[in-house]
Chains A and B, each alone.
Chain A
Amino acid sequence: GEKVEQHESTLSVREGDSAVINCTYTDTASSYFPWYKQEAGKSLHFVIDIRSNVDRKQSQRLIVLLDKKAKRFSLHITATQPEDSAIYFCAASRYVGDNSKLIWGLGTSLVVNP
């Protein structure tokens, strides 16, 4: 079946450095790619997304890049802060008829060290 692979299961960076999390997908029809953050013991919440009609999107310190040829997308967190420490999930849309659902990566545990 269709898959989303999240390449880094854990990532440790120093505060102020950049963190990059990479995902690849298999469904060439995927056109929507969101990212979610889950802090320890809490639920998931949306952080940023990108659609296939663009290859870059930025929201404050978050940048998402999309390479459709390589079927790869990545989340860049610049100037990391301790509160960025969390599990980050990537996802890609999969279409079933007129409807869609998300295929999720397994998550990347990001630790920002002071």
Chain B
Amino acid sequence: EAAVTQSPRSKVAVTGGKVTLSCHQTNNHDYMYWYRQDTGHGLRLIHYSYVADSTEKGDIPDGYKASRPSQENFSLILELASLSQTAVYFCASSDRDTEVFFGKGTRLTVV
């Protein structure tokens, strides 16, 4: 079965600290995504990738970096975490115009 695994599942980070969220997929998909979901909001795309070693900016990239070192792995990096980055983060994978498989999410709290 298609699988997207996120780690950690929850994290408390200090303002100004560095946070790395990791994502691993076993679906052999080309596309990977990082979304953010805030209470009362839909999904907002942060960064995405069509192929290993390449990333693209999504709709809200400011304050985030992404890294796709292999087809299976896609990381989201917050170099200087801020209170406004408290949210639930979802990683996902898909092929072009096909079902998107989501990870279980990471609940990030910045204090």
Residues of chain A whose beta carbon lies under 8 Å from any beta carbon of chain B: 6, 31-32, 34, 36, 42-46, 49, 51, 89, 93, 96, 99-102, 104-107
Chain B residue contacts of A49, Cβ below 8 A: 99
Chain A residue contacts of B99, Cβ below 8 A: 34, 46, 49
On chain B, the number of residues with a Cβ less than 8 Å from chain A's Cβ atoms is 20
Task: Determine the distance from Cα of A100 to Cα of B56 in the docked complex, in whole angstroms.
Answer: 12
Chain A residue contacts of B101, Cβ below 8 A: 46
Return 12 A-B CB contacts under 8 Å, by A number. Answer: A34-B99, A36-B100, A42-B104, A43-B103, A44-B90, A46-B100, A46-B101, A89-B42, A89-B43, A93-B97, A101-B45, A104-B42
Chain B nearest Cβ from A101, distance in angstroms: 6
Q: Interface of chain A, helix or strand or loop or mixed?
A: strand
- B50 at interface, CB cutoff 8 A: yes
Chain B residue contacts of A93, Cβ below 8 A: 97
Task: Determine the distance from Cα of A32 to Cα of B98 in the docked complex, in whole angstroms.
Answer: 8
Chain A residue contacts of B90, Cβ below 8 A: 43-44
Q: Which residue of chain B has the shortest Cβ distance to A33 in the bound complex?
A: B97
- Verify A31–B41 contact, CB threshold 8 A: no
Chain A residue contacts of B74, Cβ below 8 A: none
Chain A nearest Cβ from B2, distance in angstroms: 10
Decide yes or no: A100 and B42 within 8 Å by CB, A43-B102, A43-B104, A43-B105 being known contacts: no
